[in-house]
Structures are given as structure tokens and as C-alpha cells.
Copies of this chain bind each other. A is one copy, B any other.
């Protein structure tokens, strides 16, 4: 029976990507060697890495606009520190829209002064702050475009006069934006850009080199750019999965096509949450994420029953984050609309059965 994978990340990947990645582990490019046992400086792998970097710029429409792309290691959590290390001189502004935004700010606070310039914590992160006053004296402003745990997402971004840094871990490549408005975009790969083990970092080159701090090479974006993302051995397999995933996005029509599919899925999902008498959503309507729909049972006593109902119906990864409970349907690029239709059907039948 087909399993419907709503995992929040690591999350569903296209079947073609999994098939090719699996083949490469035993025989890469018909070389007779595995992808994971060849040198990372083998031309065949260097080509993969460079193609993935180039494809990232192409998909984001950032070619020839002064940006560099890196595939680094350590998760978005490592970028929390690396960003502050490379950009924070005097003070940075952070907008707190949830757990990960808060972590980004907390890790940066070990490096320098940070100011929380807006927060939606007052209503349990159920909305995106609007009309934010941005102080003039900031080295950069940091935001988190999509908040997986609470199911909120920016639809409009604040206008700032300083570099805008954005954690797009859970919605990069899912919708068309004017990416040139951002000076640094980063994302762990395990949502829409591959699997865990690698982080994409897209940096406008001219924001670097303005810091007085001495930076260890491995933490230094300029060093990684100089070495073309090969300062040390990359996470070869994870980079390859990103490469395959980016190619899949391109083959399917690029980000615009992804967005159309994602909006259709989200519409279907939220319509059912709003219609179904057993469930309710928590995110403010206009700030609802098209990636992660978070919802709860009106009657918590039905929890075990609905959990079992989901398992019986081959629904995987639907439980909410352990800090907030409830349910979360993650609908990343690779999730087919059929899986959302299936879940909606399951919710309808559950309602009828009660």
C-alpha cells in the first residue's frame, strides 16, 4: 500500500531522485565505482557540485547578479552562528516568528549584540508581525520565511535598508519571490532541496568582508567562496541528492510550477481544516503557510482514535512538533496532490465515523 509522507523534514523526495541516488551508491555514472567512495575532487563529482550551485542561481533567477552559492555542512543551526560570525559587527536585528527564528537569534547572541525587533510570541507565533519599525543602526535584519512548527509564512517581506538575511529552510524553491531583495538566503536541504547533511547558502558577495573579527576558515564564507564550496570534503551524497532534486524542479517547470502545485495542495488542505467540524487551524488566515498546515482536534479525547485512523490509512509524519502537539501536514514540493486528497478523504471519513 502506498504511504503518504507528510513528514516535516527530512521529508518526501521525488521517486526519480530516490531511484537515481540509490543507483549512484552502487554505480555512479556507470563508472563501476560508488558515488560515495570516489574522491570529492574527481571531475565527475566536481561537475555535480558546480552544476548544483549554478542551478540554484538559475532557479532563483539570481544569475549574474553578484551572488555565490555554497553547499556547507552543519545544518541551518550552523548557519545561525556562521551568519553572525561573518556579518555581525555592532548589532543585528532579529524577527522572532517561532522556535527556529528564536534559535537563530539565541545562537547569534553568543557572537555579538542582537535586538529582537519584532515578535509574534505574544499569540504563540500564530501570525507574522507586520509594519515593523526597523532601526537604522543594524548590521543586518534576520527573518525566517516559513515557520514549520506553527504553520505561518511571510507573504510580504519587510523593506529594509540594511542586508536582509533569510532562513528559507522550509520554503526555498516552493514559490516565486524576488530573491534579489535578499542579501543572504540559507536553507537546510531536507525539505525542498534534498536530504539532510547539507545546507545551501546563497550570498550577495558585496556584503562580506566588512567585519573586523578574525574568523576561522571553516566559519568564513569568503574562504568557502574562494574555494568554490570545496574548502573541505563536502557531504558528497547529500550534495548529489540536492543536485538531483534541483534538476527535478527544473524539469517540472521550475519554481513557478512548484508554486502552482503547492498552492493547489494548500487550498485543498485548509479548505478541509476549515470545513471539518472536528478540526481547527491555529495560524492566522492571511499568514498560513503553503508548506505546513498545522491543525488540532477540537476534542483532544479523539487523539488516539485519529492517530490510529491515520496509521491504518498509511499516513506518515502527520503529528505536530513535540513542543506544540496537534497535527501538521507538510506539503513540500515532492508531495503529490493525491496525498493531500487522500488525507482530506481520511479526515472526512473520520468525521463521519464519530
What total of chain A residues lie within 8 Å of the partner, measured CB to CB? 63
Q: Which of A126-134, A136-144, A212-220, A291-299 contacts B (4 or more CB under 8 A)?
A: A212-220
**Out of B10, B40, B81, B107, which one reaches A233, CB within 8 Å?**
B10
Cα A196 to Cα B240 in complex, Å, equals 12
Contact B236 A10 (CB under 8 A): yes
CB distance from A348 to the nearest CB of B (A): 24
CB neighbours of A289 from chain B (8 A): none
CB neighbours of A179 from chain B (8 A): none
Q: Which of A31-39, A51-59, A249-257 contacts B (4 or more CB under 8 A)?
A: A31-39
Cα A107 to Cα B218 in complex, Å, equals 8
Cα A37 to Cα B13 in complex, Å, equals 6
Task: State whether the Cβ of A323 lies closer than 8 Å to any Cβ in chain B.
Answer: no
CB distance from A3 to the nearest CB of B (A): 5
CB neighbours of A196 from chain B (8 A): 36, 40, 233-237
CB neighbours of A283 from chain B (8 A): none
Task: State whether the Cβ of A317 lies closer than 8 Å to any Cβ in chain B.
Answer: yes
CB neighbours of A38 from chain B (8 A): 5, 7, 10, 316-317
Using an 8 Å CB-CB cutoff, how does the interface string of A320-340 with B read, 1 for contact, 0 for none?
Answer: 000000000000000000000
A25-B21, A238-B238, A241-B36 known; A218 and B10 CB under 8 Å? Answer: no
CB neighbours of A1 from chain B (8 A): 32
Contact B235 A33 (CB under 8 A): no
Using an 8 Å CB-CB cutoff, how does the interface string of A68-81 with B read, 1 for contact, 0 for none?
Answer: 00000111111011
Task: State whether the Cβ of A119 lies closer than 8 Å to any Cβ in chain B.
Answer: no
**Out of B18, B39, B110, B238, which one reaches A215, CB within 8 Å?**
B110
Cα A81 to Cα B216 in complex, Å, equals 7
Contact B232 A75 (CB under 8 A): yes
Contact A238 B197 (CB under 8 A): yes
CB neighbours of A18 from chain B (8 A): 25-26, 34, 36-37
Contact B10 A190 (CB under 8 A): no
CB neighbours of A110 from chain B (8 A): 214-216
Contact A236 B26 (CB under 8 A): no
Contact B39 A317 (CB under 8 A): yes
CB distance from A109 to the nearest CB of B (A): 9
Contact B22 A236 (CB under 8 A): no
**Out of B103, B217, B241, which one reaches A107, CB within 8 Å?**
B217
Contact B80 A216 (CB under 8 A): yes
Task: State whether the Cβ of A174 lies closer than 8 Å to any Cβ in chain B.
Answer: no
A73-B75, A317-B39 known; A81 and B236 CB under 8 Å? Answer: no
Contact B32 A22 (CB under 8 A): no
Q: List 29 A-B contacts (CB under 8 A).
A: A2-B32, A5-B33, A5-B38, A12-B37, A18-B34, A19-B26, A21-B25, A33-B316, A36-B196, A37-B195, A38-B316, A38-B317, A73-B73, A73-B74, A73-B78, A73-B197, A73-B235, A74-B78, A80-B216, A81-B219, A103-B217, A110-B216, A188-B233, A196-B234, A196-B236, A197-B234, A197-B235, A197-B237, A237-B238
Known: A10-B38, A77-B231. 7 other contacts (CB 8 A): A10-B37, A18-B26, A36-B195, A73-B73, A73-B197, A75-B233, A111-B216
